[in-house]
Amino acid sequence: MPRALTVQRTLVTPQERKKFAEKLKRNREYYAQANCRYWVFEEASLPGAFLEFCEAPDHQTLVRAHASAPEPMLDPARIYHEVELP
């Protein structure tokens, strides 16, 4: 089965930025222990607009990781599978 990925967009005010950064660090540590990769990107032209990506080697690993995550995603059921290109 191909890799599985979830995406979450979050808008953060300047006042919330430090707290949000701490949350992202906790998420990175948690997902690493859950056998997942975790990335965060900030929109270049809109500071405070973040995309969080969580990737697992398969669907079930990602579902389990989200189910027990300390910081739940808004829509963990929206999972994308990698497309094999010919």
Q: What is the pLDDT of residue 8?
A: 95
Instruction: List, for residues 45-86, the tens digit of each pLDDT value.
Output: 999 999 999 999 999 999 999 999 988 888 888 999 999 888
Beta 4-11 vs 49-56: how paired, if at all? antiparallel
One-letter amino acid for residue 14 of the chain: P
**Torsions phi, psi of 59, nearest 5?**
-60, -50
Is the pLDDT assigned to residue 1 strictly greater than 70? no
Per-residue confidence (pLDDT) for residue 76, from 0 to 100: 83
User: pTM score, two decimals?
Assistant: 0.89
C-alpha to C-alpha distance for 17 and 20, rounded to whole angstroms: 5
| Count of other CB atoms within 10 angstroms of residue 47 | 11
